[in-house]
């Protein structure tokens, strides 16, 4: 009898926890921690804007500008990351030589980190461009959305980092743009 009662109690707790987590995910409260990669900020901010376009009161032109900027930045990041990867291979290759040409390696290192610096500056410029697409009123609404996002993140039992409103937005954003969802890509260097 005690065992049955214990099993029923455990099942009830599991159902309540499962329902709570499901509800949190449905409300956009939780998501897996992404690691806070700087390169994802433009994409994430654009996806919040697009997912909250009715709440922000975005015009069709603003939605198009946000999508175009997001796609431009994504393509630029892929190109720059490829160049950085090629330079990293060149550096490793130069380091395997019997006699390391430090001047050549220094030039490769400078080129690699110049690209990384340019990439970071491009991200900052894109974030500023994203913000400037919005009117002052929309910027204020966006700040409130982000603030709510942070509150929800702190309340979520599975959250330790990242914006909780971003749960599933990569696939939702792709659906809203009439595209297939893209697989997650890592940009860690």
CB atoms within 10 A of CB 187: 14
Domain with 165 in it: 2-176
- Identify the CA nearest to 147 among candidates 66, 63, 48, 57: 48
* Per-position pLDDT tens, the chain of length 189: 777 777 667 776 666 656 554 444 443 433 334 445 777 889 989 999 999 999 999 999 999 999 999 999 999 999 999 999 999 999 999 999 999 999 999 999 999 999 999 999 999 999 999 999 999 999 999 999 888 887 777 766 555 555 545 455 444 444 444 444 444 444 444
Number of domains composing the chain: 1
Residue 188 lies in a domain: no
The answer as to whether 136 is a domain residue is yes
- Whether 187 is covered by a domain: the verdict is no
Provide the b/e sequence for 62-85 (b: ≥16 CB within 10 Å): bbebbbebbeebbebbeebbeebe
**Residue 30 in domain:** yes
Whether 128 is covered by a domain: the verdict is: yes
Nearest Cα neighbor of 86 from 49, 115, 127, 129 is 115
């Amino acid at each position: 009898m005690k065992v049955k009662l214990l099993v029923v109690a455990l099942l009830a707790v599991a159902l309540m926890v499962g329902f709570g987590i499901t509800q949190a995910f449905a409300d956009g409260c939780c998501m897996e921690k992404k690691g806070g990669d700087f390169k994802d900020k433009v994409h994430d901010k654009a996806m919040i804007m697009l997912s909250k376009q009715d709440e922000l009161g975005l015009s069709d032109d603003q939605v198009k500008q946000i999508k175009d900027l997001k796609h431009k930045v994504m393509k630029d990041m892929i190109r720059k990351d490829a160049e950085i990867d090629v330079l990293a291979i060149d550096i490793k290759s130069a380091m395997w030589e019997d006699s390391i040409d430090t001047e050549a390696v220094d030039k490769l290192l400078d080129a690699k980190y110049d690209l990384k610096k340019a990439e970071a500056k491009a991200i900052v410029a894109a974030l500023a461009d994203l913000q400037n697409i919005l009117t002052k009123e929309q910027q204020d609404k966006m700040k409130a959305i982000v603030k709510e996002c942070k509150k929800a993140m702190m309340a979520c039992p599975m959250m330790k980092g990242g914006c909780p409103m971003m749960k599933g937005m990569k696939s939702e954003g792709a659906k809203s743009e009439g595209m297939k969802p893209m697989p997650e890509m890592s940009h860690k260097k």
